[in-house]
Amino acid sequence: MSGSLVVVGTGPGKAELMTPATLAALSRATDLVGYGPYLDRIPARGDQCRHASDNRVELDRARLALSLAAAGRQVAVVSGGDPGVFAMAAAVFEAVETGDPAWRSLDIRVEPGVTAMLAAAAEVGAPLGSDFCAISLSDNLKAWTTVERRLKAAAEADFVIALYNPASKARPHQLGQAFELLRKLKAAETPVLFVRAAGTAEAEVVTTTLGAADPSRADMRTLVIVGASTTRQVGRWIYTPRSERGAPS
């Protein structure tokens, strides 16, 4: 049997948010490759090899997975969330582009999943109800000036903004810098949401405003959403009306 590679996402955390298609792809795999905590979400099975790694070596992990598939194994590369959003799918295709030409004829597929911003939005209402963008604040792979340019464009065009990777131990200051930039362009009362561990049993939501937002509330498990000018609170929910004129009467 020839090898194959499927890139999957476990969703935000709870088993009930992993799709049946992803579960089926995992059950067909002989080898699971991924960041340790994501592999830990999948029940162990004696006949499956696990190749766990830390979260800093995405390209190496992708190359290992491709080598295993080229050797005839049925490989699943495991991300959290959706594998195509700030996760492993792009790393796999980068490894294909720059690696063994034989990898281009491998059977490679991607299974979509529930990405963190959708789980975070569902915890609080419907903050992504209008046009929105997703920006990773990590500058491991891009210049900080690029992040600033995108934040500025998103603010000026009044997108709702979902911020992935808002903070890590190595990057404690970037979310504060992002808020500083946004405060010059958006109203102080703009809703800001810190959603930690969205889509898990430990989900925590902090609702605040751009003027008051404390960047130290974010850690690696937090997704931050900055509202558009129309984003508002009703009861205990936050939502963005579909209409740019705000809520209908």
Residues of this chain, 88-127, that bind its own copies according to CB under 8 A: 89-94, 96-98, 104-105, 108-115, 118-119, 121-123, 125-127
Q: How far is the CB of 48 from its own copies (least distance, A)?
A: 20
Helix extents (H) in 129-230: 144-156, 174-183
Rounded distance between C-alpha atoms, residue 192 and residue 184, angstroms: 15
202 contributes a contact to its own copies by CB under 8 A: no
Q: Is 185 in the site for its own copies (CB under 8 A)?
A: no
Q: Work out how close the CB of 129 gets to its own copies at its nearest, in angstroms, rounded to a whole number.
A: 3
Binding residue for its own copies (CB under 8 A) from 40, 60, 100, 156?
A: 156
* List of residues 6+ apart from 60 with CB closer than 8 A: 53
The binding track of 206-235 with respect to its own copies, each residue x by CB under 8 A or -, is: --------------------------x-xx
Task: Select the residue interacting with its own copies from 166, 199, 215, 227 (CB under 8 A).
Answer: 199
Q: Exactly one of 38, 179, 194, 239 binds its own copies (CB under 8 A); which one?
A: 239
Determine which residue in the list 1, 16, 170, 201 makes contact with its own copies, applying CB under 8 A.
Answer: 16
Helices 144-156/174-183 angle, 10° precision: 30
Instruction: Please state, as a whole number, how many other Cβ atoms lie within 10 Å of the Cβ of residue 130.
Output: 20
- Output 49 or 220, the one with its CB closest to its own copies: 220
From CA 24, how far away is CA 143, in angstroms rounded? Answer: 39
181 contacts: CB under 8 Å, gap ≥ 6: 148, 151, 152, 155
- Select from 42-50, 67-75, 210-218, 240-248 the region that touches its own copies (CB under 8 A): 240-248
Task: Kindly give, in sequence order, each residue whose CB lies less than 8 Å from that of residue 248, ignoring residues fewer than 6 positions away.
Answer: 241
List CB contacts of 187: < 8 A, sequence separation 6 or more. 210, 229
Question: Which residue, 106 or 206, is less far from its own copies as judged by CB?
Answer: 106
